Amino acid sequence: MANDKTILVIGTYDTKSDELDYLATAIKGQGGNVLSMDVSVLGDPSVVTDISKHQVAEAANSSIQDAIDSGDENTAMQIMARGAATLCTMLHKAGRIDGMVSMGGTMGTDLALDCARALPLGVPKYIISTIAFSTLIPAERLATDTQMILWAGGLYGLNSVCKASLSQAAGAVLGAARAVEMPTGKKPMVGMTSLGSTCLKYMKVLKPALETRGFEVAIFHATGMGGMAFENLAREGAFACVMDFAPQEMGNHMMGSSVNSGPDRLRGAAASNTPAIIAPGCVDLVDFPAWQEFPEQFKDRSFHAHNRLLASATLNADERRQVARELALRAAESTAPVHIISPKHGIEEWDKPGEPAHEPDNHAAFVEELAKSVQAPVGFTELDCHINDAEFCATALAIFDEWLAQGLIAK
C-alpha cells in the first residue's frame, strides 16, 4: 500500500527509544509514514527525531532548561505537554499528520491526553498506556474519540508481551487514519442527550422531525463518557442547537457518583453561544456502577438495576431541589437563547405509577424548585405531561421552529 498517511509518534525518546522505534517500524511496515516527536526532558535520544524536545519546549514559550530548573517533574512535563499539544494542532492544520499515537506511563499518558484533546474529532488518537481505562483518568481529560490500549509488560524494555500491544496500536492508528470518514459539516447539526430509548423516548419523534427540517442529529448516551463527548463538541461550536434533555450527569457529579462528565456539564453550549433547549430528563436519579456497593446515604432509596454495569437510586426531595437550583444557575450562564421545559408528570420511564422510581411528592418538590429558580432571560415552560408524552416533543419542536424562524439557529 502506498505511503498515504502520516502518523505522529510521541514519546520520551531518551528512555523509550527501542519501544518507539519498534512502533514506528510497525507503522512503516504497513506502508505508513511516521513523524517522530521527542518529549523527554533530562536525557537525549539515541537517534535524531523529526521534532526535538527543544522545539516542543519552545512551542510552550519555554525551554528545556526552564523545565530542568523547575526541579519538579510534574512542572517539567506540563511544559512539554503544552508544547506537544500546540504542535499537534499546528501539524494537523498544516496537513502534515493524519493521526497520532503516544506511549508512556502516568507521565506520558498525562501528556498524551492533552495532545489528543488538541486534535479535532475524526483524527485518530491512540494512547498506549500503563494506566489505560484506569480510574486515574478523569472523563473530562479524554478527547471525544480517544482510543487506548494497555501497555502490558512494557514498563522497561521490549518483550513479546508489550510487542503485542505496540503492534496492535500501530495497525489500529494507521488503519483508522485510512478508514475514517471525517465529519463533513454539510448539514447543521443538533446535539441531543438521552439515556437510551427505553427510559427516554423523545428521540424517536424528534430525530426524524429535525431531519425533515434539514438538520443532522447526533444523540449522546448520558452515562458519563457520552455527556463528556457532547460537552466537548458543544464547546467547540459543533452544534447549531442543543437539546440537552438528559443532564443527569450533572446531578451524578453533585452527588459524588463516578458516573459523571466532570464539573462543567451543561456549560459547553454556553461557552460557544449555542442555543439550548433543556429538560430535566432522569435528574431524579443518581447512577453508580452496579458492581460496586452503593454509598450509605443511598442504600435506603428506591433502586433500579439497569444491567450488571449500571444501577440507579432515586434522589430525595432536598437533593432534587439542589439539582433544580444548579440546573437553573448553569442555564443562566449562557448569553445565547436558552429555554427549559419542565414536565410536571415525570421525567423518565421508571418514575411512572407502578415503576420503581415513582415518587410523585419528591418530583413535585423538584418541579416547584425549578419554577422558582429559573430567571429571565432564560425561557421556561411547565407542561402538564410526562417527558415521554407527545406534548413534550411538540413543545420542543415549537421552540426550535420559533428560534429557527427568528434566525437564532444557524442553518
- Choosing from 124, 146, 179, the residue where a domain stops is 179
pTM attached to this predicted model? 0.85
Query: In this structure, what CATH number is given to the domain that contains residue 149?
Result: 3.40.50.12020
CA gap 43, 384 in Å, rounded: 67
Torsion of CA 114, 118, 124, 128, to 10 degrees: -10
59 and 145 part of one domain: yes
410 assigned to some structural domain? no
243 and 390 part of one domain: yes
Q: What is the pLDDT of residue 1?
A: 47
217 and 154 part of one domain: no
CA gap 289, 278 in Å, rounded: 26
90 assigned to some structural domain? yes
Q: What is the pLDDT of residue 289?
A: 87
1 assigned to some structural domain? no
- Domain of residue 246 covers 189-405
Cell of 132: 489505560
- Name the 3-class secondary structure at 209: helix
- Choosing from 155, 179, 203, the residue where a domain stops is 179
212 and 174 part of one domain: no
Cell of 273: 453561544
Q: Is 384 exposed, middle or buried (0-12, 13-18, 19+ CB in 10 A)?
A: exposed
Count helices and strands (H / E) in the chain: 13, 14
In DSSP terms, which residues pair with 221 in a beta bridge?
A: 194
Cell of 128: 498506549
H-type alpha helices, 151-254: 160-179, 203-212, 225-235, 248-254
205 and 150 part of one domain: no
Q: What is the pLDDT of residue 370?
A: 98
What would the pLDDT profile of 135-179 be if each residue is shown by its tens digit? 888 877 888 889 999 988 776 778 888 899 999 999 999 999 999
Q: Over the Cα atoms of the chain, what is R_g?
A: 24
281 and 383 part of one domain: yes
Q: What is the pLDDT of residue 3?
A: 58
- Choosing from 158, 179, 200, the residue where a domain stops is 179
What lies within 8 Å, CB to CB, of 293 at 6+ separation is none
Is the CB of residue 101 less than 8 Å from the CB of residue 8? Answer: yes
Cell 498544516: give the residue: 94
327 assigned to some structural domain? yes
Domain count, the chain: 2
By C-alpha distance, which of 73, 33, 77, 80 is closest to 55?
80
Average confidence (pLDDT) per 10 residues, the chain, 411 residues: 83 93 95 96 90 96 93 91 97 97 93 95 94 84 89 80 92 95 87 90 97 96 89 93 97 92 94 98 92 85 83 94 98 97 96 93 98 97 98 98 96 83
CA gap 248, 284 in Å, rounded: 8
- Name the 3-class secondary structure at 66: helix
CA gap 325, 343 in Å, rounded: 16
365 and 241 part of one domain: yes
By C-alpha distance, which of 366, 220, 248 is closest to 310?
248
By C-alpha distance, which of 293, 286, 137, 303 is closest to 223?
286
CA gap 41, 63 in Å, rounded: 10
